[in-house]
Amino acid sequence: MAKITFITSNNEKITVEATAGSVMELAVNNNIQGIDGDCGGVCSCATCHVFVAPEDVDKVGVASEIETDMLELADDANEYSRLCCQISVSDAIDNVVLTVAK
């Protein structure tokens, strides 16, 4: 079980929980504004871009080469950027805070 907090572009703070699946699926299932997941979670569309809170980076881990390349399509990407379809929900990411990219 992991509790994950999303901060949307209109500064809404939403905490949701799940035990499996990807963070993108969790966000879509909970209507998190700004997470579209158009490609269904195969790292092909870059519509599930989030910024990981600096203190949570170690918990969440780093992006793969494919994901890093895809993030180049997002103009506002930085060192905290992840495509959240590539983050699996597990105990390891309990209490992380993710800010949804605009």
Give contact residues for another protein (rule: CB under 8 A): 28-31, 36, 38-45, 65-66, 69-70, 72-73
Nearer to another protein, 15 or 95 (CB): 15
Q: How far is CA 79 from CA 15, 26, 89, 90, 96, in A?
A: 23, 23, 21, 22, 16
Q: Burial-class residue 75 by CB neighbours within 10 Å (0-12, 13-18, 19+).
A: exposed
Shortest Å, Cβ 30 to another protein:
8
Shortest Å, Cβ 60 to another protein:
20
Amino acid at 26: L
Shortest Å, Cβ 11 to another protein:
18
